[in-house]
């Protein structure tokens, strides 16, 4: 691997080195071989184009009026063109006034003036089913553009938002490449229906259901779910817009309660055709190692001599590695008078920091737009992306025992064992005996046609298709150290299909100072998923004959016969919106969406989701219009309702099955006939969870955009939550799905403040900070408590850590209160009920996992051709149950297992039995240097075919300041019970990685 890595690095440097050589040679020779000798009439005119503040403009078009010859400016705003003294240059750039300059010498300097001085509030922002100027927005909407994304290895779109938007929290479920990510906007709003926002890619709403085949349990626990957004190449993304309040999200009705994330991919831009090649090489290692006892410390701890095996092994070093990753992406974009085009092809290959884990993705994209008929009356857009993903996983299931989960197995492993015995066989466990391979192919595409019927009146049609096929092959070959000594193979398949059909009309009308924008439409979306699976056991040894994933029938006997399932649901919707603007001062937005879903009962097929918002642009009033301090100031308020339909299909319908337990003896021969068992009680009244949200905000820009930002207050209340709770007497089942008269309340403040600290011709420095608070509480539950958060560990079966109870935060922690160690080394717990003994009746409720404050700090600097950026993220006020530490308790020293060093140093007795207590409850506060980047741009003016090369070095997860003793405080293992969300549990999660990257962006 060492030689392979070095050779790859050498190969990557070859084309860059050649370009430097060519550039330097051309410069040394004065370009005499690259340019013809002009006549005495023509000269080589060089120049520079900047905006009114002195910032350089890349891509400005320079045209010689008399001849039509044209060129564009490079990344530093420079250009050269052949023209004669006395001729005229036309300089144009989108958003700026065209400037005509008469040539009086061979050097030209041009400052373009914007058509209207730009501020942060005047940007065009994407909203549901359209776009608006930010100055016209009345809802809580945040937008990121490509230049705001952090540099680094980002497999999925959700990682791009980390630390960039106030109130949006991104938490890894695992550091494994391609693993799932928990995204929450403004707190946790549901107990069992999830808190994931709705993602809309180029106008197609995606399902939050899994799109890759699930990992079966072959004695090693179920594998973690993969991230359904992995299929997108992050280099293709142009912007990400987050709709946070109900006014902005209500247009998506039944799926907008957790917020909406609109993802837009790139398109061709004005100027010459652009060909871009992006590449990087990354080196990753585990973010930190846990402080376990070494072999010498283990021997000196007074263990049973039978547990000293004579070796010395750091088992963390045996499973973790320095991983190498690479990414290559090429794209082509072009804009014409009638349309634009963008095409890309990319390949990503990321090794995981744990042996035998990795992620490979190949994607292709085509975006095209073309106009037809008179004055572009008809516009047709096409967005198409295809991806092929190959993932290799490890046995790391959250419900696996300690001998079936690689990371906890390694952490517990006795450090005095050697890796191999005298015969070269593994002494502890053999990772090479396990294979988990998933192949997922996904195609997402949509066609949008816009027809201008009358001036201002447009009809839009949108047809979208999302198709995924996934196959997962899980094999445990015969071995002597695992739960499946004779081996097992399981194949799981998933085929999912999502089709969207939309029709809507938009009408824009201006009457003097009155401006209207109207929207009305219909949407239909159908989701279908089918799955099959089968398994065989007693398979051949690894390397003997044909691999079972190629020919499952080669060896073994079936133990899971061919089986399958199918799920289907439909959503039919009607929606409308009115935007009104009077004199650019007073704003009104009102919307209504009616959603009908097959997921809900016959009596509540449709839900109705209204919203209204108002705004006042104070800066356009006469008393502020001429202010030299305040450029933009807008106050706004909104109210609205959205829904959450993320519940299992068919839960409103009755379900029954045949079972011996309900059987009876029908005939005289005493043969037992299976009886009917009622599995689910029918409930035709089930309806959506409804989230009602009030938002008050302000947007401002001061001192010509030197200081800008927004402030928000929100109150978000979930009503009618859906729960599976105990049923009424005489019901056919013990539980029933129904809406309960309870509330989950999230409220808090958000702020985003930015500044253009310095902006001149040579140096630009932008700095911004964002933060959000959240206060979460549950009210009105009709049951005393709901429990979740299953804890893993010896003797802890059935123990839970989370509690949902009135008056407390969602997912608060419920456990014994640890008070210290007595003189005999025994753990002391609080006797809450005073009965003289410690048992489960002495558990107390502690603060939960939801941080009450999250923040991000971002900075970007550019000095001449250097660019430097960094970002920090952090949180305070949350807690984590360190279930990993619970498994590494002092008791391990009495059973041939390792332990965390601080437990031994505490003086605790080996005989202490593991108990879930506040000893393992730790603050998750942290601040992290999330990303830092340094780049340099080489302008390649000497070469006609090459515009620029940007070389950069970047680092992710550089350092973390925290008191949390686990691998990473920003983690959340899925340990749900009965479908109820678990929050704030860290159970031997695949650790995060710190990564260093060498990259280049070449523009042709």
pLDDT tens-digit map of 645-667:
888 888 888 777 777 777 777 77
754 has which bridge partners?
Answer: 708, 768
Compute the radius of gyration of the chain from its Cα atoms: 31
Q: Is 189 left (phi over 0), alpha (psi -120 to 50) or beta?
A: alpha
DSSP assignments along 54-97, one per residue: S-B-SS-EEEETTT--EEE--TTSEEEEEEETT-EEEEE-TTB-
Inform me whether the pLDDT recorded for 197 exceeds 60. Answer: yes
Please answer whether residues 259 and 391 qualify as being in contact, where contact means their C-beta atoms are separated by less than 8 angstroms.
no
Rounded distance between C-alpha atoms, residue 445 and residue 777, angstroms: 41
Q: What is the pLDDT at residue 876?
A: 96
pLDDT digits (tens, 9 = 90+) for 234-245: 889 999 999 999
Distance CA 297, CA 302 (A): 9
Taken in order 40, 46, 49, 53, the sign of the CA dihedral is negative
- The share of the chain scoring above pLDDT 70, in percent, equals 91
Contacts of 6 (CB under 8 A, 6+ apart): none
The DSSP string of 653-665 is S-EEEEEEEEEEE
Dist. CA 985–CA 176, nearest whole Å:
17
Paired tokens of 401? 């025992």
Contact 451, 413 (CB under 8 A): no
CA–CA dist 519, 576 (Å, integer): 5
Q: What is the 3-state secondary structure (H, E, C) of 367-420?
A: EEEEEECHHHCEEEEEEEEEEEEEEECCCCCCCCCCCCCHHHHHHHCCCCCCCE
pLDDT of residue 223: 59
Which residue from 57, 124, 46 is spatially nearest to 764, judged by alpha carbons?
57
- What integer is the mean pLDDT of 255-271? 89
DSSP H or E stretch at residue 99:
strand 99-102
Comparing 717 with 663, the larger pLDDT belongs to 717
**Across 203-228, average pLDDT:** 73
Cα–Cα distance measured from residue 244 to residue 139, given in angstroms and rounded to the nearest whole number: 8
Strands annotated E in 735-797:
735-739, 743-759, 763-773, 775-779, 786-790
**Within 10 A of 672 (CB to CB), how many other CB atoms are there?**
11
Residues 638, 246 contacting (CB under 8 angstroms): yes
Kindly report the average pLDDT of the chain as a whole number: 86
Distance CA 256, CA 644 (A): 7
Handedness of CA 265, 268, 269, 273 (dihedral sign): positive
Instruction: Note the pLDDT of residue 11.
Output: 38
Q: Give the count of alpha carbons within 13 A of 754, CB side only.
A: 23
Reduced 3-state DSSP string for 576-629: EEEEEEECCCEEEEEEEEEEEECCCCHHHCEEEEEEEEEEEEHHHCHHHHCCCC
Cα 562 from Cα 90, distance rounded (Å): 71
The answer to whether 806 and 818 are in contact (CB under 8 A) is no
What pLDDT score does 114 carry? 63
Residue 777 pLDDT greater than 80, yes or no? yes
Q: Is the pLDDT at 561 greater than 60, yes or no?
A: yes
CA dihedral 594, 597, 602, 604 (to 10 degrees): -40
**Regarding beta strands 926-939 and 866-876, do their DSSP bridges make them parallel or antiparallel, or are they unpaired?**
antiparallel
pLDDT score of 18 more than 50: no
Distance from C-alpha of 483 to C-alpha of 490, rounded to nearest angstrom: 15
Q: What tokens appear for 739 in the block?
A: 């809406």
Largest CA distance in the chain: 117
Strands 672-680 and 655-665: antiparallel
CA torsion sign for 680, 681, 684, 686 is negative
For residue 401, the model assigns a pLDDT of 57
Site of tokens 């009026």: 65
Asked if residue 249 lies in contact with residue 243, where contact means CB atoms within 8 angstroms, the answer is: yes
**Cα–Cα distance between 184 and 198 in angstroms, integer?**
11
Least confident of 93-107, 234-248, 806-820, 954-968: 93-107
Distance, CA of 916 to CA of 849 (rounded, Å)? 16
Tens-digit pLDDT profile for residues 487-499:
889 899 999 999 9
Mean pLDDT of 250-255: 90
Rounded Cα distance, 293 and 414, in Å: 9
| 3: confidence class by pLDDT, cuts 50, 70, 90 | very low
Of 953, 945, 949, nearest to 937 by C-alpha is 949
- Mean pLDDT, range 418-439, rounded to an integer: 80
Distance (Å) of CA 95 to CA 113, 136, 270, 291 = 9, 18, 11, 57
Q: Which residues pair with 677 in a beta bridge?
A: 657
CB-based burial label for 853 (10 Å; 0-12, 13-18, 19+)? middle
pLDDT for the residue 679 = 80
pLDDT at 28: 34
Q: What percent of the chain has pLDDT over 90?
A: 52
pLDDT band with cut points at 50, 70 and 90 for residue 302? confident
- The β-bridge partners of 523 are 502, 573
Contact between residue 713 and residue 697 where contact means Cβ atoms under 8 Å apart: yes
In this prediction, residue 152 carries a pLDDT of: 66
Query: How far is Cα 702 from Cα 624, in angstroms, rounded to an integer?
Result: 12
Q: Is the pLDDT confidence value at 27 over 80?
A: no
Q: What is the mean pLDDT of residues 933-959?
A: 87
What's the pLDDT at 144? 86
Mean pLDDT throughout 583-604? 92
Q: Let me know the angle formed at the C-alpha of 348 by 126 and 266, rounded to the nearest 5 degrees.
A: 25
Task: Check pLDDT > 80 for residue 950.
Answer: yes
Q: What are phi and psi of 645, to 5 degrees?
A: -110, 15
Q: Quickly list DSSP for 449-488.
A: EEEEEETTEEEEEEEEEEEEEEEEEEEE---SSSS-TT-E
Instruction: Check residue 12 and give its pLDDT.
Output: 40
Helix or strand (DSSP H, E) at 199? strand 198-201
Strand partners, 767: 755, 859
Instruction: Give the per-residue pLDDT at 651.
Output: 82
Of the candidate ranges 76-90, 116-130, 268-282, 563-577, the one whose mean pLDDT is the lowest:
116-130
CB 133 within 8 A of CB 646: no
Q: Which two tokens stand for residue 624?
A: 């502020």
Tell me how far apart the alpha carbons of residues 107 and 80 are, in angstroms, rounded to a whole number: 9
pLDDT > 90? residue 579: yes
pTM over 0.75: yes
Q: Are 803 and 840 in contact (CB under 8 A)?
A: no
Comparing 160 with 903, the larger pLDDT belongs to 903
- The per-residue pLDDT for 495 is 94
Quote the DSSP letter at residue 8. Answer: H
- Please provide residue 182's backbone torsions phi and psi, each rounded to the nearest 5 degrees: -90, 120
Per-residue pLDDT of 94-141, as tens digits, reads 667 788 888 888 888 888 876 444 444 556 788 888 888 778 888 889
For the record, the structure tokens of 909 come out as 């007795």
Predicted local distance difference test score (pLDDT) of residue 122: 52
pLDDT band at 5 (very low <50, low <70, confident <90, very high): very low
Q: Where does residue 305 rank: exposed (0-12), middle (13-18), buried (19+ CB within 10 A)? A: exposed
Are 285 and 320 contacting, i.e. CB atoms less than 8 angstroms apart? yes
Four-CA torsion 99, 100, 105, 106, nearest 10 degrees: 60
**Residue entry with tokens 């089942």:** 733
The string of pLDDT tens digits covering residues 825-856 is 999 999 999 999 999 999 999 999 999 999 99
Under 8 Å between Cβ of 850 and 776: yes
Residues in contact with 768: Cβ distance below 8 Å, sequence separation at least 6, in sequence order = 709, 752, 753, 754, 755, 857, 858, 859
């Amino acid at each position: 691997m060492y030689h392979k890595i070095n050779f790859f690095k050498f190969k990557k440097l070859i084309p860059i080195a050649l370009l430097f050589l060519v550039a330097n040679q051309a410069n040394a020779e004065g370009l005499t071989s690259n340019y013809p000798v002009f006549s005495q009439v023509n000269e080589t005119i060089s120049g520079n184009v900047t905006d009114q503040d002195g910032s350089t403009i890349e891509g400005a078009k320079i045209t010689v009026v008399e001849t039509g010859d044209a060129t564009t400016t490079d990344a530093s705003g420079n250009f050269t063109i052949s023209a004669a003294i006395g001729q005229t240059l036309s300089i144009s750039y989108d958003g700026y006034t065209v400037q005509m300059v008469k040539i009086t010498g061979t050097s030209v300097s041009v400052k373009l003036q914007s058509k209207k001085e730009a501020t942060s509030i005047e940007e065009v922002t994407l909203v549901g089913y359209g776009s608006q100027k930010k100055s016209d927005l009345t809802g809580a909407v945040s937008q990121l553009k490509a230049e705001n994304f952090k540099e680094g290895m980002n497999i999925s779109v959700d990682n791009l938002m980390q630390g960039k938007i106030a109130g949006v929290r991104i938490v890894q479920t695992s550091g494994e490449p391609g693993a799932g990510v928990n995204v929450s906007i403004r707190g946790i709003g549901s107990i069992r229906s999830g808190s994931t926002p709705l993602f809309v890619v180029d106008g197609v709403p995606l399902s939050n259901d899994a799109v890759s085949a699930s990992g079966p349990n072959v004695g090693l626990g179920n594998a973690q779910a993969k991230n359904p957004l992995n299929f997108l190449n992050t280099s293709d993304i142009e912007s990400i817009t987050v709709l946070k309040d109900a006014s902005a999200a209500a247009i998506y009705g039944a799926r907008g309660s957790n917020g909406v994330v609109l993802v837009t991919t790139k398109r061709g831009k004005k100027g010459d055709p652009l060909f871009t090649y992006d590449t990087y090489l990354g080196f990753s290692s585990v973010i930190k190692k846990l402080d376990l006892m070494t072999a010498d410390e283990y021997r000196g701890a007074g263990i049973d001599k039978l547990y000293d095996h004579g070796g010395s092994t750091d088992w963390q070093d045996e499973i973790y590695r320095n991983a190498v990753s690479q990414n290559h992406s090429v794209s082509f974009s072009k804009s014409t008078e009638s349309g634009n085009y963008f095409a890309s092809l990319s390949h990503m290959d990321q090794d995981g920091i744990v042996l035998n884990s990795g992620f490979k993705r190949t994607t292709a994209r085509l975006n095209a737009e073309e106009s037809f008929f008179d004055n572009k009356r008809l516009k047709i857009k096409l967005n198409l992306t295809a991806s092929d993903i190959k993932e290799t996983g490890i046995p790391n299931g959250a419900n696996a025992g300690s001998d079936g989960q690689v990371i906890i197995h390694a952490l517990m492993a006795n450090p005095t064992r050697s890796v191999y015995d005298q015969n070269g066989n593994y002494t502890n466990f053999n990772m090479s005996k396990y294979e988990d391979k998933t192949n997922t192919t996904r195609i997402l595409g949509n066609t949008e046609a816009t027809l201008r019927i009358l001036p201002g009146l447009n009809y839009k049609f949108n047809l979208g298709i999302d198709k995924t096929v996934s196959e997962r092959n899980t094999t445990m070959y015969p071995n002597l150290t695992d739960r499946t000594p004779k081996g097992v193979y399981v194949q799981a398949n998933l085929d999912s299909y999502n089709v969207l059909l939309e029709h809507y009309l938009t009408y824009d009308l201006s009457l003097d100072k009155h401006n209207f924008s109207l929207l009305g439409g219909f949407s239909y979306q159908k989701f279908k998923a089918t799955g099959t699976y089968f398994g065989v056991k007693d398979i051949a040894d690894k390397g003997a004959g044909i691999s079972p994933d190629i020919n499952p029938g080669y060896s073994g006997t079936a133990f899971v016969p061919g089986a399958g399932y199918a799920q289907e649901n439909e959503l039919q919707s009607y929606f409308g919106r009115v935007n009104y603007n009077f004199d650019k001062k007073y704003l009104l937005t009102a919307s209504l969406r009616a959603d009908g879903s097959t997921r809900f009962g016959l009596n509540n097929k449709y839900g109705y989701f209204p919203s209204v918002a108002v705004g006042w642009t104070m800066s356009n009033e006469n008393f502020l219009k001429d202010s030299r301090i305040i450029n933009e100031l807008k106050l706004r308020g909104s109210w609205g309702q959205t829904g959450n339909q993320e519940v299992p299909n068919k839960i409103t319908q009755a379900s029954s099955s045949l079972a011996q337990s309900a059987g009876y003896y029908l005939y005289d021969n005493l043969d037992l006939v299976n009886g009917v068992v009622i599995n689910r009680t029918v409930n035709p009244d089930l309806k959506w969870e409804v989230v009602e949200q009030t938002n008050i905000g302000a947007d401002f820009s001061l001192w010509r955009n030197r200081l800008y930002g927004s402030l928000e207050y929100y109150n978000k209340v979930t009503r009618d939550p859906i729960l599976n709770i105990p049923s009424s007497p005489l019901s056919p089942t013990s539980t029933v799905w129904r809406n309960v008269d309870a509330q989950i309340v999230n409220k808090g403040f958000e702020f985003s403040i930015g500044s253009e600290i310095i902006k001149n011709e040579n140096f630009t420095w932008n700095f911004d900070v964002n933060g959000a608070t959240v206060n979460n509480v549950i009210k009105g539950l009709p049951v005393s408590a709901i429990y979740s958060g299953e804890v893993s560990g010896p003797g802890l079966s059935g123990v839970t850590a989370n509690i949902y109870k009135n008056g407390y935060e969602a997912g608060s922690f419920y456990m014994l209160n640890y008070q210290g160690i007595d003189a005999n080394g025994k753990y002391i717990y609080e006797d809450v009920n005073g009965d003289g003994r410690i048992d489960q009746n002495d558990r107390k409720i502690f603060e939960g996992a939801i941080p009450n404050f999250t923040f991000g700090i971002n900075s970007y600097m550019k000095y001449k051709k250097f660019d430097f950026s960094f970002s920090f993220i952090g949180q305070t006020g949350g807690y984590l149950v360190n279930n990993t530490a619970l498994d590494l308790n002092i008791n391990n020293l009495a059973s041939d297992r390792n332990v965390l060093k601080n437990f031994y140093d505490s003086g605790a007795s080996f005989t202490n039995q593991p108990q879930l207590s506040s000893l393992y409850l730790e603050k998750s506060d942290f601040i992290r240097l999330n990303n830092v980047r340094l780049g340099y741009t080489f302008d390649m003016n000497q070469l006609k075919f090459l515009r620029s090369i940007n070389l950069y070095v970047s680092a992710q997860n550089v350092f973390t300041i925290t008191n949390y003793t686990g691998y990473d405080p920003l983690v959340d293992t899925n340990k749900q019970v009965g479908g109820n969300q678990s929050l704030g549990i860290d159970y031997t999660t695949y650790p995060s990685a710190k990564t260093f990257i060498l990259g280049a962006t070449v523009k042709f």
